[in-house]
A and B are shown apart, each in its own frame.
Chain A
Amino acid sequence: MDVGNSVPAEAAFEPLLQFEMEMGTFLSEWQHCDHVSTYLARMISHNRTDPVRHSNFFSSALNELLEVSFRGGTSSGQIGLSIYRHGPIERVQITFPCPAEQVPFYREAVQKIDRSDAHARYLDSISTDMAPSRESVLLDLAINFDASIRIEESTSPAVTLIVDLPLEGLVS
């Protein structure tokens, strides 16, 4: 990613909160996804126009990202989550350690979201997959939450997903 280019846009995003947890602890309990998403959603939504509904919507999206990390993550290192705001958009940046050979699959899933057949592929995944794939979860965010999604890679085997959620506009 070209960091130099994106600096002015990044600067406009104000940090709201940061959350970190040992990956081992996170993976010890499936309910962490639900609890963390519910709790953080409530915290960041209190000054939105409709805090109750914003929190419900946001928790839905965040939970899916946490579930992706839960299912794909490895137990060494930390899961890190930062939430930023710019106007009607919340940005979720989530980083979790994963096996190096998995990284390309995330990259590919993210790239596919921008393709013109995204909607058709989303419908296809609903009508044929028994369980949602990583790709269909990201498509769900893009299509049902109007999210835009990017991926950043680091040298350590980890994935960082940057997901912009314009939920304020969807909720009110």
Chain B
Amino acid sequence: MSVAGLSPNFKVAFDANSQVFSLAGVIRPRSVDEIADSIAMLRQAIDDVRGVLYVDVKRLIQMNNTAFHAFVRVALDACRARADLRMVIVTSSVVGWTTRMFGHLNQIEPQITVEVYDSTFYPGQSFVEDTSFIPILRTQTKMTWRHERSILPRHGLRPGIAMADVCCGIGDFAVLVQKEFQPARIVALDHSKASLAYAREVATNFGITDIEYTYGDASEMLLEDNQFDFVSCRHSLQIFNERELLLKELYRICKPGGRVYITNEKNSHCLGEPRAQSIQWTYNEVAKLFSHFDMDVELGPKSRRYLADAGFDDILVESFMVTNLDGDPQDFADVITAWENVYAGEMAVRRGDTPEFIERFRQGFRDHIFAALHPKGYAGWPIWVASGRKPT
């Protein structure tokens, strides 16, 4: 529900099944009276719950002291009246002040605790946000850019527009887009602090100052609705376990008539000659390994369905193959080496695979490199590009 007189972005809800009371958007009332309905809803929620009430403020963008005091009052009174009640306030590390403000409550009332939801919030996070991903991303973008620079205009990228690159990784795509297409504004968002630090350094070294790098959760972005003509999200839908949520956010920040552009892989279709069989075995295993961590690196061809289900129209899908013949075959080999290091060296180990399995798993990557560097060899990595228009 939204409340008259307050920002239309203000939303309050209670889900009795999960015992979650949530506050979202901008809440800056002049007096408590303006939020009386929401306060009443919190009181009702407290009466209804048994055990733990979750107070979800992770999408709370602004809250003034007037609202803070009013809600906190109700929460503290309830804890005093009911020794059985526990309250967990769920904040986000992205909106820094919420964790600080709500964090005090535990000192007043031990029945209230604060959890930062995005400290460990998706299964593959530890690999993906780690610095070990940086070399993978860097070599990958170098290879994919050769293709994408001519593909992007067909999907709506043009000079002078406002764009966002969501899950930007180390930000090199944003830098390349900035140089080639001169958008009026680029926001590049990621949840890896290591990657963002790297991204800012790269941009500085290129003398680029106008990319707005920001730390955020792609499924709960601080960015406002209907802001961007072009929203890209590359190689990332496939690593999300909550794909619909991400697509909803991409849709939300896109302007009506603007386009959302996604790229994804189908890892089992990586190929090479010679040694095709060993290569194929390993990439089939890559797909299984990722699904163990709730990631779907087979997503590429499913992009059309995902975009359609998310409400986009005018959907365009195409695919391209990065190969060892694109440029220096060593670049291709470097990508594979980076994959081997993280997939076999870290992820398979974490899954608890045997040394024999890992050795065979590694062999397929080495064979792929062999094919890439072989004078008569051919090695490929297919990518699916898809975009959809947000209806006007």
Partner-B contacts on A (CB < 8 A) = 30, 33-34, 46-47, 49-53, 56-57, 59-60, 63-64, 67, 122-123, 126-127, 129-132, 136-137, 140, 143-145, 170-172
Interface range for B: 35 or more
Question: Are B187 and A64 in contact, with the CB atoms below 8 A?
Answer: no
Q: Are A136 and B70 in contact (CB under 8 A)?
A: no
- Are A51 and B212 in contact (CB-based, < 8 A)? yes
A56 to B26, CA, bound (A): 11
Contact surface of B with A, Cβ cutoff 8 Å: 7, 26, 28, 30-32, 61-62, 64-66, 68-70, 72-73, 76, 94-97, 100-101, 104-105, 107-109, 187, 189, 196, 200, 209, 212-216, 222-223
Residues of A within 8 A of B72 (CB): 126-127
Known: A46-B212, A56-B222. A122 touches B66 (CB 8 A): no
When C-beta atoms are compared, the residue in chain B nearest to A70 turns out to be B30
Do the beta carbons of B215 and A53 come within 8 Å of each other?
Answer: yes
Complex: A57 Cα to B97 Cα, angstroms: 7
Q: Is the CB of B101 within 8 A of A131?
A: no
Given contacts A49-B213, A57-B97, A60-B97, 16 further A-B contacts (CB under 8 A): A34-B7, A34-B28, A47-B209, A52-B187, A53-B94, A53-B215, A63-B28, A64-B64, A67-B65, A126-B69, A126-B105, A127-B76, A131-B70, A132-B65, A132-B68, A136-B65
Q: Are B32 and A140 in contact (CB under 8 A)?
A: no
| A126 cross-chain contacts in B, Cβ below 8 A | 68-69, 72, 76, 104-105, 108
How many pairs of A and B residues are in contact by the CB < 8 Å rule?
A: 93
A123 neighbours in B (Cβ, 8 Å): 104, 107-108
Chain B residues whose C-beta falls within 8 Å of the C-beta of A145 in the assembled complex:
97
SS of B interface (majority): mixed
**Residues in B whose Cβ lies below 8 Å from that of A129:** 69
Taking each of B61, B66, B105, B200, which has the highest tally of chain A beta carbons within 10 Å of its own beta carbon?
B66
Distance to closest chain A CB from B194 (angstroms): 13
Cα(A49)–Cα(B214), bound, Å: 8
Task: Return chain B residues, CB-CB under 8 Å to A132.
Answer: 65-66, 68-69
Which residue from A30, A50, A131, A170 sits with its C-beta under 8 Å from B215?
A50
Interface centre among A52, A130, A136, A145 (most CB of B within 10 A): A52
Which one of B76, B96, B223 contacts A171 once the chains associate, using CB atoms below 8 Å?
A: B96
Give, as a whole number of angstroms, the nearest-CB distance from B55 to chain A. 15
Contacts of A64 in B (CB 8 A): 64-65
Nearest CB to that of A120 among chain B residues? B107
Chain A residue nearest to B99 (CB atoms) is A144
Q: Smallest CB-CB separation from B213: which chain A residue? A: A50
- Bound Cα distance from A59 to B224, whole angstroms: 14
A130 to B39, CA, bound (A): 12
Question: Bound state CA distance, A137 and B65, in angstroms?
Answer: 7
Distance A47 CA – B203 CA, assembled complex (angstroms):
13
Listed from nearest, the 5 A-B pairs whose CB atoms lie closest are: A132-B65, A52-B214, A30-B30, A144-B100, A51-B212
A130 contacts B215, C-beta separation under 8 Å: no
Pair A49/B200 contact, Cβ less than 8 Å = yes
Q: In the complex the two chains form, what is the Cα distance from A9 to B76 in whole Å?
A: 43
User: Chain B contacts of A143 at CB under 8 A?
Assistant: 100, 104
